[in-house]
Each structure stands twice: as structure tokens, then as C-alpha cells.
């Protein structure tokens, strides 16, 4: 059966490539013609390990296609995946512009039955609303099914995560459409959670909120550890041995960033308030995350007395390793705060080479620290874990290392006369 993926960003492109690899016939479209033209020419618009190989292989197999003719492709495909962006506005409400545009395209295009699979993260009630809106806009309810199939991949691990999901969540009303999803994923080994449309939406938000909560929890614990001179990574390791807690998402540091946690937690808070629920935990999670960067800046300021005129280098611009994504990156916020304090900011990232606000970006991590008063590690890229600290000390003017991701052993850098700044590190 022909499958169309609408929106070829991080999720859509991975969905298209993985489904093609599973043997299905995929047609990917995007309203951004430039992206599609690039993909047709063999260029991959995003950095995601393993994705390029998957795309090339499946294009060659004749299973993966890219098209700028959105309407024709939608007409020809009985299964449609919606993977457009769903950003949040300032107040936490969801910006459904892209979803609305897709609805309008569907209304103009549907002439045969469609299984519409919503993979975009949308707030509880949105899938029901999409269903209703299609009917109100004139589509016969027998001509389509709406199924919610939220995505749990992590950027930087997207292909692996989609090929090896922990669970497959499917929300819907029609048993046939749920069966279709099970057929699409029959080669994947994962338990199914079959629920209502709203149940599936809620699972996605609760999942992200719980992961973000673990991060803010360990960051708060780190603050307390810091006050008692206790090493937080030891505490996290001990917590992780408890099967009920698990070892993941307990790495303290600058906090969570990215295109999803910040926007999704804000959106869930908004959704709760709309139904008169006071989401105290979600607020606390965000409060901790919001103040995490200041904690590091205050420690740095204590050492340098004043940041004005100081040259500070930031290693890592992406919101996490193995991605080129800088949406709501912690580095972005950190750099803004440094610039506000009159700092001259230099940066290096293995993949990201353009950034707003404008700062000096270097192509070599050591070049970036020449003459610097301090170095801040803001992203946990692997290459920052094995550093020539002797060389760092020689190149820098000052000797301060701020480890914003707890990836460095303080004792090692101290051996090279560098001063280690972290939260609750010994």
C-alpha cells in the first residue's frame, strides 16, 4: 500500500526512511519545496546519524520517493502520516497553523478512503478536533479514519529508536485502522498500547513530562549536593541501580533544551490550566530548568569577578549531541546571557556552524579557546569527553573550565592546573 508522509522534518524524514526500509512504498512531501528538491537531488537537509544511508538505500530500492506535488501524492496514497511541526506560543498554547494547513489540503484532495495517522505531538483533544473539523469542512466520515500514533524517538538516535521502539502507542476508534498500523509495523518488536485518541495524546505528553521531571529532579538534588559537598554523579549512579527508578535521564547539568521538552511541558501546563487543573509539578520542573543556567553563570562570575570584556568559549551549540538541531538549545540561552553581561563569546560545535545571535564560530575546538578566560562545555558531544587538557591550558589565557554537562572528571583537569567549575562535582 502506498504511504504518504506529510512534513519531512526530523520525525517525517525518519518515518519515511524507516517505513521504506521495512518494505513499504513511501512518498514524502513537504510544503517547503527547497527541502524536497534537496532530497530529490540526494542531499539530506538535517544531520541525523544513519539517516542518509537509509534514504540512499531505499531510494535505490525504489521504495522511497520525494515529491513537490502534495495534492497528487495525497490522492494516490490511502495511508497518510502527518508529521508537521506543532510549536507552542508564548502562553503555552499550541500553534496549529501547520495542522490547519494540512486539514485544508486534505479537504481539497480527499476523493477516496484515507487512514490519517497523526504522528505530530498534539495536545489532548486535538485528534478528536481534527476528526470533527474534517467532517465540518465537508468530508464524509466514511471517507477517513483518524489514528493517533505518537512518536518517541530521540534526535541523534532517531533511526535506532524508530527501528527499536520501547512501545507502539495507537489511539483510534476504528479497529480496521488500528489493524493497518499493526501491519505497517509488523516487523518491529514492541508492545502495543491501544487506547483512545485522547489517551494516546496524553501518553506522549506524560512520557516527555516524566523524563523532563527526572532531569529537573536531579538538578535540584545537585543543588542540595553542592551545598553539602557531595558528588552528584555518585548519587545519580546509586539512584539508577534501583530498578524502579532506572539509570536514564539523571544526568545533572545545564538542564533540558531542544525542540520538544520545553515546548511540550509548556503546552501540557497550558492544557491542564484550561481544564482548571493546577499543574504544580510541571511548573516546578520548568522553574528548576529555567534557573539552571544562572547557577553556572553565577559560579563563573564569582571566579572572574566580572564577565564584562572577558573572552569566553562555549563548546557545543546543538541542544544535544549527534544532532544539528539548535531549537531551544541551552547554549542559545547561555550565550544570550553571556552577551548581556558584555562577554566576547566564541564557540565550537562539531556540526552546527551558524548561530543567532551572531558570535564567532570556529571550525576547530582548540582554535576556539585561544586566549579565552574561560571554557564552558554546554553539549555532551563525545569529542569533549577526550580532550588534551595540557593543550587547553597552554592555549587559554585563563584557566577556568565550566562543565555544564558533567562529562569531565574534575580530578583530571585539575592535574593540568585548570580550575573546574560544576554543580556538586568533587
Q: Which residues are catalytic?
A: 260
Asked if 38 and 59 touch (Cβ cutoff 8 Å), the reply is no
42 vs 20: CA distance, rounded Å: 16
Task: Find the binder of ligand UGA among 153, 268, 295, 408 (CB under 6 A).
Answer: 153
Enter the C-alpha cell of residue 411.
Answer: 580530578
- Binds 30: which of ligand UGA, ligand NAI, none (CB < 5-8 Å by kind): ligand NAI
Q: Identify the CA nearest to 352 among candidates 66, 155, 89.
A: 155
Nearest CB to ligand NAI, comparing residues 127 and 313: 127
Q: Is 421:299 a contact under the CB 8 Å cutoff?
A: yes
Instruction: Output the smallest distance, CB 402 to ligand UGA, in A.
Output: 15
61 is in an annotated binding site: no
Q: Rank residues 212 and 401 by Cβ distance to ligand NAI and give the closer one.
A: 212
Segment interacting with ligand UGA (CB under 6 A) among 33-41, 105-113, 181-189, 208-216:
208-216
DSSP state of 305: S
> Which entry of ligand UGA, ligand NAI, none binds 389, CB below 5 to 8 A by partner kind?
none
Is 405 one of the annotated binding-site residues? no
The residue assigned the cell 491501544 is 194
- Asked if residue 160 binds ligand UGA (CB under 6 A), the reply is no
Does 249 belong to an annotated binding site? yes
- Cα(368)–Cα(378) distance, integer angstroms: 14
Q: Which of residues 319-358 bind ligand UGA (CB under 6 A)?
A: 319-320
CB-based contacts of 328, cutoff 8 Å, min separation 6: 257, 258, 259, 262, 263, 319
- Tell me if residue 344 falls in helix, strand or coil: strand
Q: For ligand UGA, which residue of 215, 271, 285, 387 counts as binding (CB under 6 A)? A: 215
Grid coordinates of 96? 496549529
Residue 261 interacts with which of ligand UGA, ligand NAI, none, CB < 5 to 8 Å by class: ligand UGA
**250 contact, one of ligand UGA, ligand NAI, none, CB 5-8 Å limit per kind:** ligand UGA
Query: What angle separates helix 126-136 from helix 97-109, to the nearest 10 degrees?
Result: 40
Kindly state the smallest distance separating residue 157's Cβ from ligand UGA, in Å: 8
Residue at grid coordinates 476508534 = 173
Instruction: Say which entry of ligand UGA, ligand NAI, none residue 403 contacts (CB below 5 to 8 A, set by partner kind).
Output: none
Residue 66 engages ligand UGA in binding (rule: CB under 6 A): no
Nearer to ligand NAI, 153 or 365 (CB): 153
25 among the known binding-site residues? no
- Minimum distance, C-beta of residue 162 to ligand UGA, in the bound complex (Å): 10
252 is in an annotated binding site: yes
Quick one: 386 exposed, middle or buried, by C-beta within 10 A (0-12, 13-18, 19+)? exposed
How buried is residue 325: exposed, middle or buried, by Cβ count under 10 Å (0-12/13-18/19+)?
buried
Whether the bond into 123 is cis, omega within 30 of 0 = no
> What is the grid cell recorded at 124?
489532548
Closer Cβ to ligand UGA, 325 or 344, answer by number: 325
Q: Given the complex with ligand NAI, which of 5 and 232 has the nearer CB atom? A: 5
Instruction: Report DSSP state, residue 61.
Output: T
Annotated binding site for substrate: 152-155, 204, 249-253, 257, 320
The contact set with ligand UGA (CB under 6 A) reads: 121, 151-155, 208, 211, 215, 249-251, 253, 255-258, 260-261, 319-320
Annotated binding site: 30, 86, 121, 152-155, 204, 249-253, 257, 263, 320, 327
Amino acid at each position: 500500500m502506498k504511504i504518504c508522509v506529510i512534513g519531512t522534518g526530523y520525525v517525517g524524514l525518519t518515518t519515511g526512511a524507516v517505513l521504506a526500509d521495512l518494505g513499504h512504498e513511501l512518498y514524502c512531501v513537504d510544503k517547503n519545496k527547497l527541502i524536497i528538491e534537496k532530497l530529490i537531488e540526494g542531499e539530506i537537509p538535517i544531520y541525523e546519524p544513519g539517516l542518509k544511508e537509509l534514504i540512499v538505500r531505499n531510494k535505490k530500492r525504489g521504495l522511497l520517493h520525494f515529491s513537490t506535488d502534495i495534492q497528487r501524492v495525497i490522492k494516490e496514497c490511502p495511508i497518510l502520516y502527518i508529521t508537521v511541526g506543532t510549536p507552542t506560543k508564548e502562553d503555552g498554547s499550541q500553534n496549529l497553523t501547520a495542522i490547519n494547513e494540512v486539514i485544508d489540503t486534505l479537504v481539497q484532495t480527499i476523493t477516496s478512503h484515507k487512514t490519517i495517522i497523526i504522528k505530530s505531538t498534539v495536545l489532548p483533544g486535538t485528534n478528536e478536533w481534527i476528526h470533527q473539523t474534517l467532517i465540518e469542512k465537508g468530508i464524509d466520515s466514511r471517507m477517513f479514519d483518524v489514528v493517533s500514533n505518537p512518536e518517541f524517538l530521540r534526535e541523534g538516535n532517531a533511526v535506532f529508536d524508530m527501528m527499536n521502539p520501547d512501545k507502539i502507542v495507537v489511539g483510534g476508534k476504528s479497529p480496521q485502522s488500528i489493524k493497518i498500523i499493526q501491519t505497517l509495523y509488523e516487523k518491529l518488536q514492541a508492545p502495543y498500547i491501544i487506547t483512545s485518541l485522547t489517551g494516546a495524546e496524553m501518553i506522549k505528553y506524560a512520557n516527555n513530562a516524566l523524563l523532563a521531571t527526572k532531569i529537573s529532579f536531579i538538578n535540584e538534588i545537585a543543588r542540595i549536593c553542592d551545598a553539602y559537598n557531595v558528588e552528584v554523579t555518585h548519587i545519580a549512579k546509586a539512584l539508577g541501580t534501583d530498578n524502579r527508578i532506572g539509570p536514564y535521564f539523571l544526568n545533572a547539568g545545564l538542564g533540558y533544551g531542544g525542540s520538544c521538552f520545553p515546548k511540550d511541558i509548556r503546552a501540557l501546563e497550558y492544557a491542564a490550566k484550561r481544564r482548571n487543573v493546577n499543574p504544580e509539578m510541571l511548573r516546578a520542573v520548568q522553574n528548576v530548568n529555567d534557573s539552571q543556567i544562572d547557577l553556572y553563570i553565577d559560579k563563573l562570575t564569582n571566579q572572574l569577578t566580572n564577565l564584562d570584556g572577558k573572552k569566553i568559549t562555549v563548546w557545543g551549540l546543538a541542544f544535544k549531541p549527534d544532532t544539528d538541531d539548535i531549537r531551544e538549545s541551552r547554549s542559545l540561552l547561555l550565550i544570550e546571557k553571556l552577551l548581556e553581561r558584555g562577554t566576547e563569546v566564541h564557540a565550537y560545535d562539531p556540526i552546527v556552524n551558524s548561530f543567532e545571535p551572531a558570535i564567532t564560530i570556529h571550525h576547530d575546538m582548540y582554535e576556539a579557546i585561544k586566549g579565552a578566560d574561560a571554557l564552558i562545555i554546554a553539549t555532551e558531544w563525545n569529542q569533549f569527553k577526550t580532550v588534551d587538557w595540557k593543550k587547553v591550558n597552554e592555549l587559554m589565557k585563563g584557566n577556568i573550565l565550566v562543565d555544564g554537562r558533567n562529562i569531565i572528571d574534575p580530578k583530571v583537569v585539575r592535574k593540568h592546573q585548570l580550575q573546574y567549575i560544576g554543580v556538586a562535582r568533587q
